[in-house]
C-alpha cells in the first residue's frame, strides 16, 4: 500500500520519555514515516539524543537518532506529522500550536481527548469518527489537525466491548484494571512504593475508563458523535508488572446470549480488512486464549507485535451476565503503536495530500 511514495517526515514530541522512546523504535524502520525531529523539555533541548535520553527499551537506541539534536517542543519543525508523547498539561498548550501551524498531530496525551470535534481513535474500532475532523477544521480554523489515542487501558478493554456491544448491546460494564508500572512513565513509581505491592489509585484513571470506551463505541449522527449509552464502573490499580495492563471485565448485555454465542462472537468478529492492510495493524487484533490461566501480561503483551489484545477466562458472571480477562501492551497498542496506526489511517485516507 503506497510503498512507492516518499516517506512522510515525522517529529516526536517528548521523544526522551517512555512513550517517546517507543515512537523512536517504531519509526526507525517504518515504511511510510521517517524520523526528522525529536523534542524534549528544557532539560534535554540542545543536547544530543543519546546524551539526553536514558534509553529504557530492549535493544540498542537506533543509530540514526543517536546524534540528532533534541529540539524545544515548538513549531516549526521539519516534519509533516507530529507524534506527541507529552504530559497532558504540557500538551494542552503545545499540541494546538502545532495544529495551528499546519501539522498533523497524533497525540497520546489526554489533553484533547474529550473535545467533541477531536477524534479519540482506534482504527479497527471507530474509523468513521474521522468525520469529526471536518468539524474540527471549521471550528478551529487550524491548517493542521489533532487526532488522539485513548488511554492505554481503554485501548485494551474496548476491543471485546466493541464485539459484545455490536452483537448483544452492552448495558453495563464493571472493569478492574491491573496496570503496569511503565504506564506511569519514567522514572515512574519508586521501587519501595510498588515492589511486592498493589497501589489502588491511579490519579484520574477511573474517570477516563468510564468515559473513553463510550466515546470510542459512539455512533456518528450526522456531524456529531453520540456516546454509547452504557454505564461503566471502573477500579484502577497499579501492579508490579513492567509492561502490559490486565483488565477484568464483567458485562451486562441487553440481548440474552449463551456462553457459546458470546465466545463465538468474540472469536469470529470480522475486523475491517481495510485496517488490516495498514503496516502496523495486526491481522488478528483480538486473540482468544483457550488456556485456563491466560491471558497474562508477561506471556501475552507482545501478541501481534504488541498490537493484539489477548482475552480469555470467559465465563458467566453471577452479578452481571459474563466476565472475561484482557491483556494489552500499554506502551505499544496502548500508546505509541496506536498513534502510529492512526497516522497510517490518515495517510491511507489522503490526509497527507
> What residues make contact with ligand NAP under the rule CB under 6 A?
14-20, 40-41, 43-44, 73, 85-88, 90, 108-109, 151-152, 182-183, 185-186, 330-331, 334-335
Helix, strand, or coil here: 44?
coil
Q: Which of 30, 152, 248, 317 is catalytic?
A: 152
Nearer to ligand NAP, 64 or 90 (CB): 90
Alpha-carbon Rg for the chain in angstroms: 20
Which residue has the CB atom at the shortest distance from ligand NAP?
Answer: 17
Nearer to ligand NAP, 28 or 167 (CB): 28
Query: Is residue 129 annotated as a catalytic residue, yes or no?
Result: no
Measured CA to CA, the distance from residue 108 to residue 113 in angstroms comes to 9
Nearer to ligand NAP, 203 or 290 (CB): 203
Nearer to ligand NAP, 65 or 253 (CB): 65
Whether 86 and 102 have beta carbons less than 8 Å apart is answered as no
Report the Cα–Cα distance between both ends of the chain, in Å, rounded: 15
> Shortest gap between Cβ of 197 and ligand NAP (angstroms)?
19
Nearer to ligand NAP, 20 or 156 (CB): 20
Give the three cell numbers for residue 299: 506471556
Query: Is residue 53 annotated as a catalytic residue, yes or no?
Result: no
Q: Which of 245, 248, 317, 329 is catalytic?
A: 245
The answer for 222, left when phi > 0, alpha when psi is -120 to 50, beta otherwise, is left
> Shortest gap between Cβ of 233 and ligand NAP (angstroms)?
22
As separate numbers, helices (DSSP H) first and strands (DSSP E) second, the chain gives 14, 15
Give the three cell numbers for residue 292: 485456563
Nearer to ligand NAP, 250 or 331 (CB): 331
Distances (CA, A) of 70 to 17, 41, 340: 12, 9, 21
Give the three cell numbers for residue 208: 477516563
Give the three cell numbers for residue 144: 493542521
Closest CA relative to residue 183, chosen from 234, 120, 243, 236: 243
DSSP class of residue 227? P
> Shortest gap between Cβ of 332 and ligand NAP (angstroms)?
9
> Shortest gap between Cβ of 89 and ligand NAP (angstroms)?
8
> Shortest gap between Cβ of 314 and ligand NAP (angstroms)?
26
**Ordered alpha helix ranges (H), the chain:** 18-27, 49-52, 63-66, 88-100, 123-126, 132-140, 152-168, 191-194, 205-216, 259-268, 273-276, 297-300, 303-306, 337-348
> Shortest gap between Cβ of 305 and ligand NAP (angstroms)?
16
Known catalytic residues? 152, 245
Amino acid at each position: 500500500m503506497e510503498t512507492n511514495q516518499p516517506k512522510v517526515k515525522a517529529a516526536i514530541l517528548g521523544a526522551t520519555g517512555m512513550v517517546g522512546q517507543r515512537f523512536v523504535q517504531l519509526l526507525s524502520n517504518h515504511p511510510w514515516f521517517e524520523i526528522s525531529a525529536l523534542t524534549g523539555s528544557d532539560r534535554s533541548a540542545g543536547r544530543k539524543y543519546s546524551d539526553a535520553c536514558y534509553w529504557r527499551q530492549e535493544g540498542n537506541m537506533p543509530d540514526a537518532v543517536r546524534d540528532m539534536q533534541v529540539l524545544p517542543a515548538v513549531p516549526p519543525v521539519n516534519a509533516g506529522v507530529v507524534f506527541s508523547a507529552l504530559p497532558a498539561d504540557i500538551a494542552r498548550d503545545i499540541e494546538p500550536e502545532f495544529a495551528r501551524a499546519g501539522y498533523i498531530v497524533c497525540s497520546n496525551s489526554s489533553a484533547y481527548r474529550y473535545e467533541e470535534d477531536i477524534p479519540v481513535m482506534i482504527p479497527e474500532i471507530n474509523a468513521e469518527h474521522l468525520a469529526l475532523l471536518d468539524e474540527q477544521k471549521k471550528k478551529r480554523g487550524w491548517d493542521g489537525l489533532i487526532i488522539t489515542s485513548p488511554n492505554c487501558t481503554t485501548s485494551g478493554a474496548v476491543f471485546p466491548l466493541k464485539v459484545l456491544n455490536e452483537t448483544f448491546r452492552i448495558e453495563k460494564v464493571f472493569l478492574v484494571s491491573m496496570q503496569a508500572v511503565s504506564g506511569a512513565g519514567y522514572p515512574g513509581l519508586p521501587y519501595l512504593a510498588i515492589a511486592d505491592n498493589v497501589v489502588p489509585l491511579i490519579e484520574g484513571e477511573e474517570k477516563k475508563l468510564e468515559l473513553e470506551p463510550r466515546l470510542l463505541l459512539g455512533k456518528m449522527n450526522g456531524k456529531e458523535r453520540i456516546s454509547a449509552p452504557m454505564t461503566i464502573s471502573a477500579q484502577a490499580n497499579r501492579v508490579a508488572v513492567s509492561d502490559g495492563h490486565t483488565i477484568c471485565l464483567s458485562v451486562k448485555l441487553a440481548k440474552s446470549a449463551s456462553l457459546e454465542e458470546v465466545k463465538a462472537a468474540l472469536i469470529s468478529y470480522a475486523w475491517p480488512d481495510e485496517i488490516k492492510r495498514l503496516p502496523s495493524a495486526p491481522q488478528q487484533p483480538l486473540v482468544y486464549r483457550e488456556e485456563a490461566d491466560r491471558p497474562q501480561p508477561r506471556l501475552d503483551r507482545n501478541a501481534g507485535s504488541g498490537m493484539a489484545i489477548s482475552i480469555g477466562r470467559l465465563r458467566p458472571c453471577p452479578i452481571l451476565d459474563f466476565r472475561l480477562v484482557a491483556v494489552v501492551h500499554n506502551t505499544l497498542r496502548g500508546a505509541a503503536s496506536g498513534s502510529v496506526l492512526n497516522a497510517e489511517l490518515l495517510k491511507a485516507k489522503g490526509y497527507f495530500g
